Amino acid sequence: VSRFHYHLHTQVFVERPGDGKYVNSIGIQQVANSIRTHGLGIMHNTVNYTYQFLARKFAVLSQFLFDDHIRSRLLKDVRYFRDSRVELGHRYPYARAQAFGSEIRRLGVDKDGRSYLDKFRQLITEMGNALGYVRLVRAGGVRTVSEAVAFIPDIA
């Protein structure tokens, strides 16, 4: 999930550029071909596996949001925004967002130099990619079934 980018409009996963010469992509037609080859049962397994993956990711997300340092800063910003919503024109100020990001960076970084906010972004991206994958599998299933309808004879 973390090696691919998901393009929402074309429903295509494109591999992040690496050291190799080639970049892999997965689209609706590839999924439809796989479903045609292996059967509709892979859709059920895929959705179940993705559901378990998302359950683990939501647990990590929950732990992140309920961390005392993160939660206190978020609640502080919620109070600020709620109290000055009208003056701000219902828009969160950019300067405030930058201050939030720098405050989170002060909490520490990992050995790769990534802050908690960077890890949070990566987590959200992986969750979004997983949901996009389920959507892609669904679209591939619909394509497979719609192509198979051509072989059903007309009764009328």
Task: Report pLDDT digits (tens) over 86-121.
Answer: 998 999 899 999 998 888 888 888 888 888 888 999
Q: Which long-range contacts (CB under 8 A, 24 or more apart) does 105-108 make?
A: 107/69
Predicted confidence at residue 133, as pLDDT, reads 93
Predicted confidence at residue 1, as pLDDT, reads 64
Predicted confidence at residue 17, as pLDDT, reads 83
Predicted confidence at residue 124, as pLDDT, reads 94
Low-confidence ranges of the chain (pLDDT < 50): none
Q: In degrees, to the nearest 5, what angle opens at C-alpha 63 toward C-alphas 74 and 94?
A: 25
Give the C-alpha separation, 48 to 19, whole Å. Answer: 33
DSSP 15: E
